[in-house]
Structure 1
Amino acid sequence: MKKTRVFAAIASSFVLGAAAQADTIKIGVSQPLTGPVAASGTYVANGARLAAEHLNANGGVLGKQIELVVEDNKSNPREAVNTAEKLILRDKVPVMIGAWGSTFTLATMPKLEEYGVPMVVETASSSKITTAGNPWVFRISPTSRMEAQAFAKQLSTFDPPIKKVDFLSVNNDWGLGAATEFKAMFEANGIDVGRTETVSQDATDLSAQLNALRNTGSDTLIVTSGVEQLTLAIRQASEQRLPQRIITTGGSFPEQLLDNPGPKGYVSTHLLFFSPWTADKALHPEIAKAYMEGWKAKNYPFPGLTEGFRGYDAVLTVAKAIELAGEAEPKAIRDALWKTEVAGINGDIAFVKDGPEGKESGQNQPNVYVVQLQDGKVTAQ
Structure 2
Amino acid sequence: MFKKVISGIILIVFLLSMLAFSFASNKNVIKIGVDLELSGAVAQYGQKELDGIKLAIEEINQKGGVAGKRIELVVLDNKSDKTEAQTVAYKLAVRENVLAILGPATSGATKSASMAATKYKVPIVSPSATDDTVTVDERTGKVKSYVFRTCFNDSFQGNVMANFALKTLKAKTAAIIYDATSDYSKGLLKNFKATFEKGGGKVIAQEAFGKGEQDFSSILTKIRDKKPDVIFAPVYYDEAGLIIKQARELGMKLPILGADGFDDPKVVEKAGKKNANNVFFSAHYSSQDTDKKVQEFIKKFKTKYKQEPNAFAALGYDLGYFIADALKRANLKFDSVAKDRERLKTALENTKNFVGVTGVININKLHNAEKSAVIIELKDGVQKFKQKLNP
| TM-score normalized by the length of structure 1 | 0.89
Aligned length: 367
Q: State percent identity of aligned pairs.
A: 25
Distance 1:144 1:100 in 2: 14
Which one of the candidate residues 204, 207, 219 is aligned to 2:214? 204
Q: Which residue of 2 aligns with 1:379?
A: 384
Q: Which residue of 2 aligns with 1:165?
A: 174
Is 1:223 equivalent to 2:243 in the alignment? no
Return the offset for 1:300. 5.3
Once the two structures are superposed, residues 238-260 of structure 1 have per-residue CA deviations (whole angstroms, 9 ceiling, x without a partner) of 22222431011135324146578
Return the offset for 1:203. 2.5
Q: Which residue of 2 aligns with 1:290?
A: 296
Return the offset for 1:287. 2.6
Structure number with bigger Rg: 2
Which one of the candidate residues 78, 83, 88 is aligned to 2:83? 78
Distance 1:197 1:224 in 2: 12
Once the two structures are superposed, residues 296-321 of structure 1 have per-residue CA deviations (whole angstroms, 9 ceiling, x without a partner) of 1233542x522111211122111111
Distance 1:193 1:89 in 2: 47
Describe how 1:67-106 pairs up with structure 2 within 5 A: 67-106=72-111
Describe how 1:268-287 pairs up with structure 2 within 5 A: 268-276=279-287, 278-280=288-290, 285-287=291-293
Q: Which residue of 2 aligns with 1:349?
A: 361
Is 1:309 equivalent to 2:314 in the alignment? yes
Answer with 148-157 or 186-195: which moved more. 148-157
**Change beyond 3 A, Cα 1:189–1:314:** same
**Change beyond 3 A, Cα 1:194–1:124:** same
**Change beyond 3 A, Cα 1:126–1:236:** same
- What letter corresponds to residue 335 of structure 1 in structure 2? T
**Change beyond 3 A, Cα 1:376–1:113:** closer
Q: Which residue of 2 aligns with 1:359?
A: none
| TM-score normalized by the length of structure 2 | 0.87
Q: Which residue of 1 aligns with 2:327?
A: 322
Q: Greater relative contact order (Cα 8 A, min sep 6): structure 1 or 2?
A: 1
Return the offset for 1:32. 1.1
- What letter corresponds to residue 167 of structure 1 in structure 2? I
1:298 alignment partner, SS class: helix
Once the two structures are superposed, residues 156-198 of structure 1 have per-residue CA deviations (whole angstroms, 9 ceiling, x without a partner) of 6635x21111111222111011001000110111111121122
Question: CA contact under 8 A between 2:276 and 2:381: conserved in structure 1?
Answer: no
Distance 1:254 1:219 in 2: 25
Q: Which residue of 1 aligns with 2:375?
A: 370
Q: Which residue of 1 aligns with 2:49?
A: 44
Question: CA contact under 8 A between 1:98 and 1:105: conserved in structure 2?
Answer: yes
Which one of the candidate residues 274, 277, 280 is aligned to 1:263? 274
Return the offset for 1:267. 2.2
Return the offset for 1:6. 6.2
**Change beyond 3 A, Cα 1:335–1:264:** closer
Which one of the candidate residues 183, 187, 190 is aligned to 1:177? 187
Distance 1:37 1:194 in 2: 30
RMSD over equivalenced CA pairs, Å: 2.2
1:371 alignment partner, SS class: strand
- What letter corresponds to residue 361 of structure 2 in structure 1? I
Question: CA contact under 8 A between 1:34 and 1:72: conserved in structure 2?
Answer: yes
**Change beyond 3 A, Cα 1:258–1:295:** farther
